[in-house]
Chain A
Amino acid sequence: MTLSATSEDRRNPLAGLLAENSNLIGLAAIIVLFWIGFTSYAPGFVSSFNLFALSRSLAIDIVVGFSTMVVLATGGMNLAIGSIGVCSVMLAGWLMQELGFPLPIALAAGLGLGALLGFLNGFAIVRSGVNAFIITLASASLFLGAMLILSKAVTFNTLPPEVAAFGRMKWGFVSPLMVIALAIGAALVVLFRFTALGREILAAGANARAAELSGVPVGRAIIVAHMLSGLLAAAAGLMLLFRLGAAMPSIGQDWLLPSFLAPVLGGTLLSGGYVSVIGTILGALLVTTIRSGLLVMQIGNFWLQLFLGLILLLAVMLDRYRSVHAERRSLGRRA
Chain B
Amino acid sequence: MTKRFTGVAARALPMIAATLLGLAAAHASDNKIALIPGGPHPYFAPWEQAAADAKKDFGIAAVDFKVPAEWKLNLQTELIESLVSQGYNAFGIFPGDAVGINTTVEELASNNIPSAALAGCSQDPTKVAFCLGTDVYNSAYLGTKALIESMGGKGKIVHLAGLLVDPNTKLRMEAVEKAVGETNGAVSLVQHITDTDAQEAADQKINALLGAQKDQIDGLIATAYIPSVVAAKSLRNLGDKRIKLVGIDDDKIVLDGIKDGFVAGTMAQNPYGQGYVGAYVLDLLASGTCTVKDDAPWIKTPQTAHFIDSGTLLISASNLESYGADLKKLTGEIQSTFKDKYLACK
User: Which chain A residues lie closer than 8 Å to B164 at the CB level?
Assistant: 153, 249
Is residue B68 within 8 Å, beta carbon to beta carbon, of the partner chain?
Answer: yes
B81 touches A50 (CB 8 A): yes
Is residue A300 within 8 Å, beta carbon to beta carbon, of the partner chain?
Answer: yes
B88, chain A: closest CB distance, angstroms: 10
B151, chain A: closest CB distance, angstroms: 30
Chain A 3-23 interface mask (CB, 8 Å, partner B; 1/0): 000000000000000000000
* Other-chain residue from B79, B85, B87, B107 in contact with A45 (beta carbon distance below 8 A): B85
With contacts A42-B86, A49-B84, A302-B69 taken as known, whether A243 is within 8 angstroms of B78 at the C-beta atoms is no
Interface size, chain A (Cβ < 8 Å): 34
A248 touches B82 (CB 8 A): no
B85 touches A50 (CB 8 A): yes
* Other-chain residue from B72, B73, B78, B86 in contact with A298 (beta carbon distance below 8 A): B86
Q: Which of A35-77 contact B (CB under 8 A)?
A: 42, 44-45, 47, 49-50, 53, 57
Name which of A108-116, A219-227, A288-296, A322-330 contacts chain B.
Answer: A288-296
Which residue, A240, A249, A298, has most C-beta atoms of chain B within 10 A?
A298
B99 touches A246 (CB 8 A): yes
B102 touches A155 (CB 8 A): no
User: Which chain B residues lie closer than 8 Å to A300 at the CB level?
Assistant: 69, 79, 82
B97 touches A250 (CB 8 A): yes
B123 touches A292 (CB 8 A): no
User: Which chain B residues lie closer than 8 Å to A245 at the CB level?
Assistant: 99-100, 102-103
Is residue A141 within 8 Å, beta carbon to beta carbon, of the partner chain?
Answer: no
C-alpha gap A250/B107 in the complex (Å): 22
Is residue A176 within 8 Å, beta carbon to beta carbon, of the partner chain?
Answer: no
A246 touches B74 (CB 8 A): no
Is residue A304 within 8 Å, beta carbon to beta carbon, of the partner chain?
Answer: yes
User: Which chain A residues lie closer than 8 Å to B87 at the CB level?
Assistant: 44
A295 touches B99 (CB 8 A): no
C-alpha gap A245/B73 in the complex (Å): 13
User: Which chain A residues lie closer than 8 Å to B75 at the CB level?
Assistant: 254
B102 touches A53 (CB 8 A): no
* Other-chain residue from B84, B123, B165 in contact with A250 (beta carbon distance below 8 A): B165
Is residue A206 within 8 Å, beta carbon to beta carbon, of the partner chain?
Answer: no
User: Which chain B residues lie closer than 8 Å to A302 at the CB level?
Assistant: 69
C-alpha gap A50/B107 in the complex (Å): 12
From A302, which residue of chain B is reached at the shortest CB distance? Answer: B69
A145, chain B: closest CB distance, angstroms: 13
User: Which chain A residues lie closer than 8 Å to B68 at the CB level?
Assistant: 301
From A44, which residue of chain B is reached at the shortest CB distance? Answer: B85
Is residue B52 within 8 Å, beta carbon to beta carbon, of the partner chain?
Answer: no
B100 touches A295 (CB 8 A): no
Interface size, chain B (Cβ < 8 Å): 29
Q: Which of B53-92 contact A (CB under 8 A)?
A: 66-70, 72-75, 78-79, 81-82, 84-87
B165 touches A153 (CB 8 A): yes
Which residue, B70, B78, B87, has most C-beta atoms of chain A within 10 A?
B78
B81 touches A254 (CB 8 A): no
User: Which chain A residues lie closer than 8 Å to B70 at the CB level?
Assistant: 254, 305
A4, chain B: closest CB distance, angstroms: 48
From B111, which residue of chain A is reached at the shortest CB distance? Answer: A49
C-alpha gap A50/B111 in the complex (Å): 12
User: Which chain A residues lie closer than 8 Å to B73 at the CB level?
Assistant: 244, 248, 250
Is residue B98 within 8 Å, beta carbon to beta carbon, of the partner chain?
Answer: yes
B85 touches A243 (CB 8 A): no
Is residue A167 within 8 Å, beta carbon to beta carbon, of the partner chain?
Answer: yes
With contacts A295-B79, A301-B66 taken as known, whether A155 is within 8 angstroms of B97 at the C-beta atoms is yes
A157 touches B103 (CB 8 A): no
* Other-chain residue from B72, B78, B79 in contact with A57 (beta carbon distance below 8 A): B78
B81 touches A246 (CB 8 A): no
User: Which chain B residues lie closer than 8 Å to A155 at the CB level?
Assistant: 97-100
From A49, which residue of chain B is reached at the shortest CB distance? Answer: B84
Is residue A253 within 8 Å, beta carbon to beta carbon, of the partner chain?
Answer: yes
C-alpha gap A25/B100 in the complex (Å): 38
C-alpha gap A153/B72 in the complex (Å): 15
Is residue A120 within 8 Å, beta carbon to beta carbon, of the partner chain?
Answer: no
Is residue B177 within 8 Å, beta carbon to beta carbon, of the partner chain?
Answer: no
Q: Which of A159-208 contact B (CB under 8 A)?
A: 164, 167-168
A291 touches B78 (CB 8 A): yes
From A163, which residue of chain B is reached at the shortest CB distance? Answer: B103
Is residue B48 within 8 Å, beta carbon to beta carbon, of the partner chain?
Answer: no
Is residue B309 within 8 Å, beta carbon to beta carbon, of the partner chain?
Answer: no
From B82, which residue of chain A is reached at the shortest CB distance? Answer: A295
User: Which chain B residues lie closer than 8 Å to A246 at the CB level?
Assistant: 97, 99-100, 102
Is residue B106 within 8 Å, beta carbon to beta carbon, of the partner chain?
Answer: yes
In the complex, 20 of the A-B residue pairs with CB atoms within 8 angstroms, ordered by the A residue number, are: A44-B82, A44-B86, A44-B87, A49-B81, A49-B111, A50-B85, A155-B98, A243-B103, A244-B73, A244-B97, A246-B100, A246-B102, A254-B72, A291-B78, A292-B78, A300-B69, A301-B66, A301-B67, A302-B69, A304-B69
Knowing that A155-B99, A301-B68 touch, tell me 18 more A-B residue pairs with CB under 8 angstroms.
A44-B82, A44-B85, A45-B85, A47-B85, A49-B84, A49-B85, A50-B81, A53-B81, A244-B73, A244-B97, A245-B102, A248-B97, A249-B165, A250-B73, A292-B82, A300-B79, A300-B82, A301-B67
A contact set with B: CB distance below 8 Å: 42, 44-45, 47, 49-50, 53, 57, 153, 155, 157, 164, 167-168, 240, 243-246, 248-250, 253-254, 291-292, 295-296, 298, 300-302, 304-305
**Which are the 9 A-B pairs with shortest beta-carbon distances?**
A44-B85, A295-B82, A157-B99, A50-B85, A53-B81, A246-B99, A244-B100, A296-B82, A245-B103
